């Protein structure tokens, strides 16, 4: 009985220490990145979801940035808001079809709505078997409102905005008429609120920030404009790069491709399945023993960048290749065997729990120290950095 009480007390203390350490730079453990907020429990990209993710242990909160008709940056996974809000019911006359990066989407788009109209929308949980009881309650936050949540926390919380479909946004008449770009709109907001680089500088450590994009040209443009650390997102090997559709992501996952990536990016956000594969002749099992690295994680680290793969979810159907019994087993493989520096997760509480359990163990936990606290390297595209 006494042992149980002592063990319980120790777990509580470790949890508190882990939560406190979550806001500390330099780092002694990887980043816990809230994918669209606490999206396992609340609708994506809502103030309430972001706050819950922080409460559960997030180090960073993510905002996928899209623009409104009046060029206000807001947080939404796509410009299409039909599947994640009540937009179709409120604005049926605005339903139309648009091709974005080669894909035909039908519904209501943020770029056809003013900010005032966007603010009338209410969000809903897009994954059917997750809690639907919060549908219709929460509004869409602006980029500035999202920043205010991070800055208002009782510990250091980083922000992790993504420029969503920047080339498509920049092609719109409303953006061209304003003689600006989506990237410049986002950078102006970040500058207004004091976000700077380079990575691990004193200013950055006070207000940590990464900017991510699936586009290569967009990140190269940003690297010439800012010292804020950039993260190259990667989809599956055979998926075309949005702004370079004749080239697949496999081209930039090669040795030469990753080396080139390091000239403009500080990190890489790969789809987690691209980091592992089944061993030759092995059957995938429920403990990860049949999996091995593809070499991508090692190439990223060799070139001085951090790896922040996506998306870690607790549900069994989302575990990599079905090769793990639990989310904790999956964390163990990626953080210990592959040595990733951070992870996007729908369940920041589960990842914090994993970090707390690992803090009780002896020996090697992860590879963070070598890369995660490294100062930013000079950028060929921007001598100011």
Q: Which residue numbers are catalytic?
A: 35, 77
- Alpha-carbon gap, residue 381 to 222, rounded angstroms: 9
- Alpha-carbon gap, residue 350 to 38, rounded angstroms: 11
| Residue 102 Cα to chain centre, angstroms | 23
Helix intervals (H) in the chain: 2-21, 47-55, 87-90, 115-118, 143-151, 166-171, 173-177, 182-192, 202-206, 216-225, 255-261, 296-302, 327-332, 348-358, 368-372
Q: What is the DSSP letter of 45?
A: S
Residue in 177, 181, 183, 150 with CA at minimum distance from that of residue 60: 150
Q: What is the CA radius of gyration of the chain?
A: 21
Q: Is the peptide bond before 198 cis (omega within 30 degrees of 0)?
A: yes
Q: Are 42 and 58 in contact (CB under 8 A)?
A: no
- Alpha-carbon gap, residue 195 to 288, rounded angstroms: 39
Give the angle 9-14-16 at the CA atoms, nearest 5°.
Answer: 95
Q: Are 73 and 147 in contact (CB under 8 A)?
A: no
């Amino acid at each position: 009985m006494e042992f149980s009480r002592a063990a319980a007390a120790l777990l509580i203390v470790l949890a508190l220490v882990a939560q406190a350490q979550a806001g500390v730079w330099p780092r002694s453990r990887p980043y816990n990145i809230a994918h669209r907020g606490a999206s396992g429990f609340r609708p994506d990209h809502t103030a309430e979801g972001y706050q819950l993710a922080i409460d559960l242990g997030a180090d960073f909160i993510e905002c996928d940035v899209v623009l409104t008709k009046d060029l206000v940056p807001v947080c939404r996974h796509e410009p299409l808001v039909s599947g994640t809000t009540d937009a179709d019911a409120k604005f049926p006359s605005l339903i139309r079809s648009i091709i974005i990066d080669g894909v035909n989407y039908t519904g209501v788009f943020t770029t056809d709505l003013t900010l005032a109209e966007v603010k009338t929308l209410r969000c809903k949980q897009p994954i059917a078997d997750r809690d639907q009881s919060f549908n219709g309650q929460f509004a869409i936050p602006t980029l500035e409102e999202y920043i205010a949540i991070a800055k208002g926390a009782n510990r250091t919380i980083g922000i992790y905005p993504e420029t969503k479909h920047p080339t498509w946004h920049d092609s719109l008449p409303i953006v061209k008429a304003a003689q600006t770009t989506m990237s410049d709109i986002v950078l102006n907001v970040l500058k207004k609120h004091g976000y700077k680089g380079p990575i691990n500088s004193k200013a950055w450590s006070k207000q940590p920030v990464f900017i991510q994009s699936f586009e290569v040209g967009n990140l190269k443009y940003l690297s010439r404009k800012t010292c804020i650390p950039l993260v190259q997102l990667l989809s599956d090997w055979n998926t075309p790069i949005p702004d370079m559709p004749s080239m697949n992501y496999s081209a930039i996952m090669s040795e030469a491709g990753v080396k080139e990536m390091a000239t403009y990016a500080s990190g890489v956000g790969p789809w987690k399945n691209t980091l592992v594969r089944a061993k030759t002749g092995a059957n995938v099992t429920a403990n990860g023993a049949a999996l091995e690295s593809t070499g991508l994680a090692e190439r990223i680290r060799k070139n001085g960048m951090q790896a922040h793969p996506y998306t870690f979810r607790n549900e069994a159907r989302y575990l990599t290749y079905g090769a793990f019994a639990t989310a904790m087993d999956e964390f163990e493989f990626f953080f210990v065997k592959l040595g990733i520096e951070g992870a996007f997760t729908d369940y920041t509480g589960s990842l914090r729990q994993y970090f707390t359990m690992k803090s009780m163990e002896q020996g090697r936990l992860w590879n963070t120290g070598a890369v995660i606290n490294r100062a930013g390297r000079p950028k060929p595209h921007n001598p100011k950095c």
